[in-house]
A and B are shown apart, each in its own frame.
Chain A
Amino acid sequence: MFLMMLTPALADSSFEQLVQTNAKLISKSSSKTVGPVLNTLQQFGGAEAEAFLTNWQAKKLYFIKKTGQFVLVKKAGKAADGKKQMHIRNAITGEEIGLVPAKSVKQIKPNSGVRSKIAATLVPFQLNSNDPAIRAKTLKTLLRNIESSHLLPLKAAIANESVSELKTQMEKAYVFGMLAHGAEESEVEVAILSLAGDLSIDVRAALTPVLASTIVVAKEIPSEGNLARVITPGRTIKKADGTAARLNAIGRKDAELTDSTAYDMMVARGLAPAFVTRNMRDEALVASVMNGRVSSFSLDDLDNENARDTAYQHLVDRAAAPPLVSELQRQKAIQGAVFFALYNNPSSRVTDAARKVLNDIQTKVTLYKYLDLMLDALSLASIYFLAAIGLAITFGVMRVINMAHGEFIMMGAYTGYVVQLFVPNYTLSIAIAVPAAFLVTFAAGVAMERLVIRHLYKRPLETLLATFGISIALQQLAKNIFGTQARPLTAPSWLDGAFAVNDVLAISNIRIAIFCLALSFLGLLLYVMKRTRFGLETRTVTQNPAMAASMGINPDRINMLTFGFGSGIAGIAGVAIGLYSKVTSELGADYIVQSFMTVVVGGVGNIWGTLAGAAMIGTLQKSIEWFNPSNTLAAQTYMVIFIILFIQFRPRGIIAQKGRAVEA
């Protein structure tokens, strides 16, 4: 650039000459013919060339019909005779030429193919632009698609780049360019090795084509060619790095080549006679039907495979059809040939390096995916914990089977929705919704305890039925009030994003929030139950109401408050769950069975137990999903079966309660 600025006059004159000699090709450009012109312009370089190309690309370039000179135009007022006029100036020097009639100039309209070629030509200019935003924008396109002509200018730009962030990006783009277009084996190898340990998706996407391979069948493996893998039909699968691995029973992958495709490949290469499929055999039989018979066979007898094969054999004997290839013959033919894949890249040095780097990256990616899985499990566990924590009090401490617990969760979520109807600020509305949900469900819980559960403390199984009645009534009531469609409970925008560690590992903020909420619930609950007067009285009443009463505690009051407290916590959980999923009248019902299982698996009567139960169920479900990600239903099924078995061996849960209170 510096050199060019020293000799402006020379550049000026010769650039104009250069352009005008190629005038025809520029004004009537097509994507096929424009290449050489663009090359010359690019080689010439300089600010004029860049401006010229930019104008051309933006359809701002005109030419004077008579002389063919390139000009830029500006609309002017109409002339005295009413014809349109234009101010024109030289497209290269910018020198004013004057007013001309609009009809005497013509716009150059390059089509999209030409425009994209111009864009590619502009890349080196833009890489050296003084504006970092332009450089960054160009880099983005380069990272997606780089051409071999960009490599040299890119290398030069790397040396000049001052912004370190852009510099690393440029280096990455250069490496990708080398991967795609590098001619020198050692250069490509160095480029590949420089990518080691980079977990981003575009690196993996750039490495994969280097390891692309083509399947070949032959009598034996040739000595030349860059061998990727030897394939056993029906037995091996293709790994991401192009090598083969044995098909194992656990992974639900299909073999790379089935017997029939393998045989078809052999047929295509002329290594084996064509296979007559059942359909082809039957078509041949149908085609040879005469007077209701196929040679000597009556059609009615051809209702099984053997008879059809025999009839077809008759056709073969008369040379009216190609012979059948039996399954055994097909197997033998396949065993007689070798199937293998050759890397499309002939250099084993390059593919070896790519394989090594890709495998290292894959190992790290797998590691991070495990970590991601653990975090997923953690957040699922937090949700289960939130859903079950209220039950841990009402069921775990008070032994009341509250089937309407799920509906309290739903009530909390709907409270959040209603609050958001009145308070448009999401942050503020959530801050109001949490205590509001607690109050609403606390009141509902107290009312339910007073009206229903109080009468049933001696009959726990019947509490189940009565609370189930309340559950379906509340569900239907919610449906009648809010309708059947899902209602939104919108999280504030600061909960929207995700905390990204790298391209593989990202945790959404809402999950972090739910995790924190679950943790604070745990702390709150432990504090209330273990450190406050209320918690002490609750435990006393649960263990022995009569004794508690004689000590001056009012069991009625304590039962009422405890139940209200458990219900209120369910309400807050409802707000959190509503943020995470949609609010419907069935929201609670979705969680009720899981919640009971969480409490039972963890161990009734122990808050730590509920935590352990939630952690186990969450981890288990995510781990099973890991093996078969497409089928979450299967994961749930196996999880429930596991829980059933688990309860057989630890009927009192992970943290079993001891002492006399157990039998009560």
Chain B
Amino acid sequence: MSKLFQETVLVQYLFRNPSILIFLGTLAGVCLAVTILGEGFGLGLISTSFIKTLGKTLCLCIIAIAMDLVWGFCGILSLGHFAFFALGGYMIGMWMMFARTKIIVIEAAKNNVLPPTPAEISEAVGTQIFGVVGGAEIPMVWAFADSLWAQIAFIVLVPGLLAYLFGWLAFRSRVNGVYLSILTQAMTLALSLYLLQNDSGFRGNNGLSGLQNVPGLDDVPQSILSITFFLVSGLALATTYLMAAAVVGSKLGNIIRGIRDNEARVRFLGYNVESYKLFIFVLTAMVAAVAGALYYPQAGIINPTELAPIASIYLAVWVAIGGRGRIYGAVIGAAFVSLLSSYFTSGQAPDIPLGFATIIWTDWWLILLGFSFVVVTIYAPQGLGGFIEKLARQEKG
């Protein structure tokens, strides 16, 4: 039995790649520790809101892995992956908001003499959801919002299709390097402007709200919901990590690294560079969308400011700080910077009195962060991951 166990592909694979094993072990340890210390099932030493922060951080780690794949391994500095992330959030948010409003509407209609017709229910739901933007009709894009499975499919399909269209156009005409970055940024801007419009059917700048309540699970306390989302996010992160490691370790991984280092040479070797790039671009867009779909129910609200071009640049910075071209580097960067960010901006950090002035961290954190980008880019181009590896080499040597 144990021999059979050792022979399964996954286990063999893991033992051949100790870094993956270390990562999965650490992740499992963190998940276990948080579950035990958390409120939902455990001792209650960690507050529900902090568990939500941790869960969100895990989601950010997932999208950081996607970013690392597309930028660190394939050399495409996409400033549009946060758009896919938010789009995933919008897709799940539509179902959550629609289904929950419908339950409320049906509950309210119980007092009426006549039982409501389907048309009346959808009208009432429409008024509830779109009243803020002066509409009452349910837009076409919400046609499948009633069905959880359809929206779950859309989480990967819609961003995937958008990434496919955009990538096909961009790679086909050989838009490269900086130009591609600016083009992806333009795409993000266009999408956020589109979602900002009141008549595009996504509630304009109000966005979708009340996402922390899962429809049909109103009796379940937030403490349980949050720890569940946390664990699901952890599982998703583990899966993404394994998938990314598999992609990077395969022949495909070698080709995309080749594209990063010298695109022309790979093309002359007879590879269809555009297809490889497109595959990675679409794959990572889908991963980002899944991460978003897990993130926003924990954040509770999503609106178009989430996909401002600046968010995607932050993402690139996390990966840069963590260390490009290393999957664990992306995770470390995202976790480190986003947790530090929430620590400093939440006002928990103590102010530093300097005599002539006081450093209030909520005001000065961004300045510190900005300058640390500069320092990391210039002096530690390999990021924190590179630093760790250097230490490891020194110990060995």
Contacts and interface: CB of A to CB of B under 8 A. Distances in A.
Interface of A: 282, 285-286, 289, 299-300, 302-305, 308, 399, 401, 403, 452, 455-456, 459-462, 464-466, 468-477, 479-480, 589, 593, 596-597, 600, 631, 633-634, 636-637, 640-641, 643-645, 647-649, 651
B381 to A, nearest CB: 7
A456 B194 contact: no
Contact of A304 (B118, B177, B374): B118
A597 B187 CA distance: 11
Interface stretch (B134-142, B246-254, B364-372): B364-372
Nearest to A468: B313
Interface in B174-190: 174-175, 177-179, 181-183, 185-187, 189-190
11 contacts: A300-B115, A302-B114, A304-B118, A455-B378, A464-B77, A466-B374, A472-B310, A472-B370, A480-B363, A640-B190, A648-B169
A647 B172 contact: no
A651 B374 contact: no
A636 B187 CA distance: 12
A657 B323 CA distance: 35
B76 to A, nearest CB: 10
B117 A647 contact: no
Contact of B370 (A282, A460, A471, A597): A471
B125 interface: no
B375 to A, nearest CB: 9
Given A305-B117, A472-B366, A651-B174, A466 B377 contact: yes
Contacts of A303: 114-118
Given A455-B378, A633-B197, A643 B186 contact: yes
B96 interface: no
Pick the most buried of A289, A476, A597, A633: most chain B CB atoms within 10 A of its CB: A633
Interface of B is mostly: helix
A391 to B, nearest CB: 11
B190 A641 contact: yes
Interface string B6-22: 00000000000000000
A462 B381 contact: yes
Nearest to A400: B178
B273 interface: no
A637 B367 contact: no
Contacts of B367: 472-473, 476-477, 480
Contacts of A480: 363-364, 367
A634 B197 contact: yes
B320 interface: yes
A531 B175 CA distance: 33
A651 B182 CA distance: 12
B45 interface: no
Contacts of A300: 115
Nearest to A631: B197
Which 5 pairs, one residue from A and one from B, show the smallest C-beta to C-beta distance? A469-B373, A473-B370, A640-B190, A476-B366, A303-B115
Interface in B120-153: none
Nearest to A592: B309
A286 B114 contact: yes
Given A468-B313, A633-B196, 11 more contacts: A308-B117, A399-B178, A401-B178, A401-B181, A464-B181, A465-B317, A468-B317, A589-B310, A593-B186, A597-B186, A651-B173
Interface string B350-365: 0000000000000110
Contacts, number: 147
B119 interface: yes
B190 A461 contact: no
A469 B377 contact: yes
Contacts of B193: 633, 636-637, 640
B316 interface: yes
Contact of A465 (B119, B316, B366, B369): B316
Given A299-B115, A643-B186, A648-B170, A452 B181 contact: no
B257 to A, nearest CB: 16
A640 B316 CA distance: 22
B194 A637 contact: yes
Given A476-B370, A636-B193, A461 B178 contact: yes
A631 B182 contact: no
B389 interface: no
Chain B interface size, under 10 / 10 to 19 / 20 to 34 / 35 or more: 35 or more
A643 B179 CA distance: 12
B374 A289 contact: no
A647 B175 contact: yes
A480 B358 CA distance: 12
Contacts of B196: 633
Contact of B366 (A299, A473, A640): A473
B189 A462 contact: no
B113 interface: yes
A634 B193 CA distance: 7
Contacts of B381: 459, 462
Contacts of A636: 193
A475 B364 CA distance: 11
A468 B373 contact: yes
Contacts of A633: 193, 196-197
B186 A472 contact: no
Nearest to A301: B115
Contacts of B170: 648
Contact of B186 (A302, A477, A640): A640
A644 B185 contact: no
B377 A465 contact: yes
Nearest to B317: A465
Contacts of B261: none
A308 B370 contact: no
A651 to B, nearest CB: 5
A637 B179 contact: no
A658 B179 CA distance: 17
Pick the most buried of B116, B316, B370: most chain A CB atoms within 10 A of its CB: B370
B115 A593 contact: no
Contacts of B373: 465-466, 468-470
Contacts of B320: 462, 465
Interface in B273-321: 309-310, 313, 316-317, 320
B183 A647 contact: yes
A462 B380 CA distance: 11
Nearest to B264: A663
Given A462-B381, A468-B373, A644 B317 contact: no
Given A456-B378, A471-B370, A473-B367, A644 B116 contact: no
B179 A651 contact: yes
Contacts of B370: 468-474, 476
A593 B317 contact: no
B182 to A, nearest CB: 5
A469 B371 CA distance: 6
A563 B177 CA distance: 21
A399 B196 CA distance: 33
A461 B186 contact: no
Contacts of B175: 647-648, 651
Contact of B363 (A308, A479, A637): A479
A289 B317 contact: no
Contact of B77 (A461, A600, A637, A643): A461
Contacts of A643: 186
Contacts of A469: 317, 369-374, 377
A461 B378 contact: no
A649 B173 contact: yes
Contacts of B116: 303
Nearest to B76: A461
A597 B182 contact: yes
A633 to B, nearest CB: 5
Contacts of A304: 117-118
Given A452-B378, A461-B177, A289 B113 contact: yes
A50 to B, nearest CB: 56
B86 to A, nearest CB: 16
B117 A460 contact: no
